[in-house]
């Protein structure tokens, strides 16, 4: 760990100010949890973006809506369409500053508009259960208050930052990936606000991830009179699925998950179309190339079936984020700041992915679990530990102030990323 740091009186005052906002943070989180912002709920996402414009206006920065390009999607019936997205929220403060940081997050959740999980409840005096409480509406509040505390410090003018909060992280950041890359390429370091674990541990190195859909076309026929005329797309998709699953264990750390097969209908009809959907996790770029080669071979194999055509759609959307020297330096600073605040910051590698992967793909060293302490995300048991709202905001604020003062040299981390 880097040498211990002192907290100046001015920094202490800014950190103490965060504690005065604790009750307001909790109240706002309760309000936000009640806004359904599932990734496909355009109205709810736009309502949340309006909330972001309201609260981040306190920073005094420039706020804009960033229009996102559509992405290709394959429907259950095999039709290929363009998937549209609502805009991302973008805040820019002091864009010409010598030190630039990018902070990212998302306002979408995994709970759709029609889901029954729509409200919060207290499990005990410190634990709130609710959709998106930890992932990551609580994290957005941590980010906001870290920045507001920075603005109260004497070194604030030395640092510039961009905030990007997007509506599509839970479905792969396909629309926002380009903007994340653009901002990451211009910044020295990044900070992302996925939840920490309940014990405060952070995610370290992350695997890369890709998503695909194999569209399979055959020929329909009467299952009794002309079964021999039909060409069963579901059977072809099932063969692909079993062969894909057999790739597990062939390369260390690479996993293939067949998640769904769409297709079929009445039992007396040979199905003419099917879609096999799957996810792959990898450790590095060499793994990516191996995966691409293997699934291409399977695509060719399925196309060799009589009367069957198959086509892969998709690809790797988030490269791996290993614990390189540059990322390790960011974690070292996080641990150092935590120690000054009485926090024991630890981390573990994970197979999960997030916007931190996208930032690293742009060469931007980053820490990506700076949000609230929480647990059971993506489930009806999701919780946020409410005292961690000010706790983690203080951690971010101290890091930001040390980047601004130069005690943490953001340019050093970026130089390591290029070495």
Both tokens of residue 388?
Answer: 């961690």
User: What's the pLDDT score for residue 2?
Assistant: 72
Give the count of beta carbons closer than 10 Å to the beta carbon of residue 363: 14
What average pLDDT does range 195-223 have in this prediction? 95
> Sorting pLDDT into bands at 50, 70 and 90, what band is 419?
low
Give me the residues paired with residue 102 across strands: 162, 190
What average pLDDT does range 186-200 have in this prediction? 96
d(CA 379, CA 376): 6
pLDDT tens per residue across span 72-105 = 999 999 999 999 999 999 999 999 999 999 999 9
User: What's the pLDDT score for residue 368?
Assistant: 95
Q: How deeply is 40 buried, as exposed, middle or buried, from its count of CB atoms within 10 A (0-12, 13-18, 19+)?
A: middle
> Sorting pLDDT into bands at 50, 70 and 90, what band is 45?
very high
Domains, in order of start, for the chain: 9-70+85-205+321-417 (3.40.630.10), 208-318 (3.30.70.360)
pTM of this prediction? 0.94
Looking only at Cα atoms, what is the longest distance across the chain? 86
pLDDT tens per residue across span 312-338 = 999 999 999 999 999 999 999 999 999
User: Do β-strands 383-385 and 374-375 pair in parallel, antiparallel, or remain unpaired?
Assistant: antiparallel
User: What's the pLDDT score for residue 418?
Assistant: 83
User: What's the pLDDT score for residue 1?
Assistant: 62
d(CA 36, CA 401): 34
Tell whether the model's pLDDT for residue 300 goes beyond 90.
Answer: yes
Question: Strand order in 366-367's β-sheet?
Answer: 62-66, 88-93, 159-166, 99-106, 189-192, 366-367
> Sorting pLDDT into bands at 50, 70 and 90, what band is 3?
confident
Q: pLDDT > 70: what percent of the chain?
A: 100
Tokens 């992915």 belong to 353
Q: Which residues contact 176 (CB under 8 A, 6 or more apart)?
A: 66, 68, 85, 88, 164, 166, 167, 168, 169
User: What's the pLDDT score for residue 143?
Assistant: 98
According to DSSP, residue 346 is labeled: -
Q: Which residues contact 6 (CB under 8 A, 6 or more apart)?
A: 340
Give the least confident one: 47-56, 99-108, 174-183, 345-354.
345-354
- E-strand ranges in 22-98 read 62-66, 71-74, 80-83, 88-93
What average pLDDT does range 129-151 have in this prediction? 98
User: What's the pLDDT score for residue 267?
Assistant: 96
């Amino acid at each position: 760990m880097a040498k211990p740091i002192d907290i100046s009186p001015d920094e202490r005052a800014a950190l103490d100010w965060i504690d005065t906002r604790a009750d307001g943070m909790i109240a706002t989180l309760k309000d936000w949890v009640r806004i359904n912002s599932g990734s496909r709920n355009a109205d709810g996402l736009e309502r949340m973006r309006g909330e972001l414009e309201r609260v981040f206006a306190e920073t005094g920065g420039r706020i804009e809506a960033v229009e996102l390009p559509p992405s290709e999607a394959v429907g259950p019936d095999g039709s290929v369409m363009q998937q549209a997205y609502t805009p991302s929220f973008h805040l820019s403060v002091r864009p010409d500053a010598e030190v630039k940081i990018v902070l990212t997050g998302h306002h979408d959740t995994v709970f759709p508009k029609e889901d029954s999980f729509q409200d919060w409840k207290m499990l005990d005096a410190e634990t709130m259960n609710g959709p998106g409480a930890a992932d990551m509406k609580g994290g957005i509040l941590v980010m906001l208050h870290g920045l507001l505390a920075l603005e109260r410090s004497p070194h604030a003018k030395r640092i510039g930052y961009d905030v990007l909060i997007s509506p599509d992280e839970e479905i792969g950041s396909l629309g926002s990936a380009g903007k994340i890359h653009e901002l990451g390429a211009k910044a020295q370091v990044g900070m992302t606000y996925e939840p920490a674990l309940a014990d405060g541990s952070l995610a370290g190195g992350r695997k890369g991830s890709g998503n695909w859909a194999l569209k399979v076309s055959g020929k329909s026929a009467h299952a009794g009179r002309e079964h021999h005329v039909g060409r069963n797309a579901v059977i072809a998709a099932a063969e692909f699925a079993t062969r894909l699953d057999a790739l597990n264990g062939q390369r260390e750390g690479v996993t293939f998950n067949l998640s769904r097969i769409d297709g079929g209908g009445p039992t007396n009809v040979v199905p003419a179309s099917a879609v096999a959907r799957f996810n792959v996790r990898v450790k590095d770029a060499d793994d990516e190339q191996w995966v691409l080669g293997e699934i291409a071979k399977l695509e060719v194999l399925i196309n060799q079936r009589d009367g069957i055509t198959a086509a892969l759609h998709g690809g790797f959307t988030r490269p791996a984020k290993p614990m390189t020297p540059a990322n390790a330096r960011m974690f070292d600073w996080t641990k150092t700041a935590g120690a000054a605040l009485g926090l024991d910051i630890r981390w573990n590698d994970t197979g999960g992915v997030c916007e931190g992967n996208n930032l690293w793909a742009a060469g931007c060293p980053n820490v990506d679990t700076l949000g609230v302490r929480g647990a059971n995300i993506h489930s009806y048991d999701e919780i946020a530990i409410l005292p961690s709202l000010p706790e983690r905001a203080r951690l971010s604020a101290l890091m930001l102030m040390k980047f601004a003062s130069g005690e943490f040299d953001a340019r050093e981390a970026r130089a390591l990323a290029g070495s």
